[in-house]
Chains A and B, each alone.
Chain A
Amino acid sequence: MLDDDAADAKIELRGVSMSFSARRSAPATVALENVSFEVRDREFVCLLGPSGCGKSTVLNLIAGFERPTSGKILLEGRPVRRPGPDRGVVFQEPLLFPWLSDLENVTFGPRMHGDPPDEYLPKAARLIEQVGLGGFERHRPYELSGGMKQRTALARAWIGSPRVLLMDEPFAALDAQTRLMMQEQLVHLWEQTKTTVVFITHDVEEAILLADRVLVMTSRPGRIKADIAVSLKRPRSYEQLISSNSAAELKRQIFHLVREETLKTMDRSPDGGRHPGATSSETGSVVPITQANQIAGGAAERKASGRHH
């Protein structure tokens, strides 16, 4: 199913590896090892994995904030070299500009490009309305709640009609109710615009609720462990995820994969023994899984070179 549509791959990672060293003398930490995947046009892909697995690094590489140690990152067939407005980015923190009003934050990109106001202002008004911030245009970021700030950040990234929207755990810092509302708004916006989205999360339910496809990553060094299609029909809701059998099965399957990786990181960490129950185990019977659907191209077989100790 991946073979015939390489042509409309929006984003493509080919054998991407990334290692860091904090000091010149320190041994390099391998963050990513031979990561390869594609994201098709208009697809909503979630990258899921335990903390420290390099999910954010993948996103930073696609955004162009960092360059890979080896491998290729292509956006519509062209290599990514630097950040650009063709890729909108929403971070875990809103990272708004506190000296600007809400409207000025949303219109920051178009204003920097010198776009005519009668072009971007109506668009901004529409977006602000869509994310439910109508009436707050003149407020400063520090006068807004966490959820409102994050919605402003979403509108700011979206106004330039980016070809790809990259989201790095954008709702992780929000309370449960706000998160739910944001997820609905995001799906709504995505359905209207059909922008390609790469969304990073460590929340299995969030991934199933949002994604067309979930890519599960291994713990460090990060590789693609499994590539799972989420075929539940839209619109989806949390109620459905609870009541539908296929959703529950999918959730169990993905949960198991993530749990395996989380356990590995705990065995490795020096204080691992202190929190043995950190991954909740109440989902009960662990279903034996034959390494999920498709395991990404041979990545699992590569031996971990230069692994840190």
Chain B
Amino acid sequence: MSPTRKLIISVAAVAFVVALWFAAGHFGLISRLLLPPPDEVASTATELWSDGYVHVPLWRHIAVSIARALAAFAAAVITGIPIGLAMGMFPGVGAALDPFVQFLRPLPKLALIPLIIVWFGVGELSKFLLIYLATVLTVIVAAAAAVLNVKRGRIRAAEALGVSKYQLFRYVIFPSALPELFVGVRMAVGIGWTTLIAAEMIAANSGLGWMVINASAYLRTDVVMIGILLLGITGYLLDLLLVALQRVAVPWIGKD
């Protein structure tokens, strides 16, 4: 199927769902309080854009959330990749860290909120730590697996060409692991972004996650829906950015 055709189908599918949503509100199928129709949501959006939500402009809510998430993602990538690579390269390191990683990774990070608040308070650090923890564990596991998944044949080909241990890592194992590292980071960022709401439940007064939680307390379903849309769209754009980066950094992905 051609890309244009796929795009047309995708757009049509979205238009269909929006039309259903519109119809549900306007023909009184679902109460407007529970499901405000798209035109109402749109007018609330323009209102939020000009006046802000609770005296904070909408762009600020967006920017604050993105800043929190990006700081945690960056820290997770910078620390998680070396740790994961070391776990993959050195079986001893892997054996030492694996129990902790495997215990923490499947743990719902919400369960950690009470401890994090007790230990680190309710400031930015706690929000950062929660997103960081949700992200870094996936990055670590992906990096360790990426090293272990490097084809044995490729390592042997390099060894037969007379590379040193360091050269083997730097010029063969690391680039071989890059495609999987990218996939891992994309997954981790997806998971981290979903943790944002939980992070902003910790005594925040701005951010998209906070806006959703706060609006729900006042039954402002329209604001809740705008928050959800913005969270979804921003998450999607983040992933697109990573895909573009991946295309530049590992153009051979999936081709060998």
Which residues on A are within 8 Å of B, measured CB to CB?
63-65, 82-85, 87-89, 91, 93, 95-99, 108-109, 112-113, 140-142, 153, 156-157, 160
Contact = CB atoms under 8 A, between A and B. Distances in A.
A89 B156 contact: yes
B171 interface: yes
Contact of B252 (A89, A142, A157): A142
Given A89-B157, A99-B178, A112-B164, 4 more contacts: A84-B160, A141-B256, A142-B255, A156-B161
A85 B161 contact: yes
Contacts of B158: 108
A246 B158 CA distance: 42
B194 to A, nearest CB: 32
A160 B162 contact: yes
Describe B's contact surface by its main secondary structure.
helix
Given A98-B256, A142-B252, A142-B256, A113 B162 contact: yes
B162 A112 contact: yes
B199 to A, nearest CB: 36
Given A65-B156, A91-B157, A142-B255, A97 B162 contact: no
B220 interface: no
Contacts of B163: 112
Interface residues of B, number: 23
Interface string B216-256: 00000000000000000000000000000000001110011
Contacts of B250: 99
Interface of B: 151, 153-154, 156-164, 167, 171-172, 175-176, 178, 250-252, 255-256
A14 to B, nearest CB: 23
Contacts of A91: 153, 156-157
A82 B156 CA distance: 11
A99 B154 CA distance: 13
B256 A85 contact: no
Given A63-B156, A97-B154, A85 B162 contact: yes
A83 B159 contact: yes
Nearest to B250: A99
Contacts of A96: 256
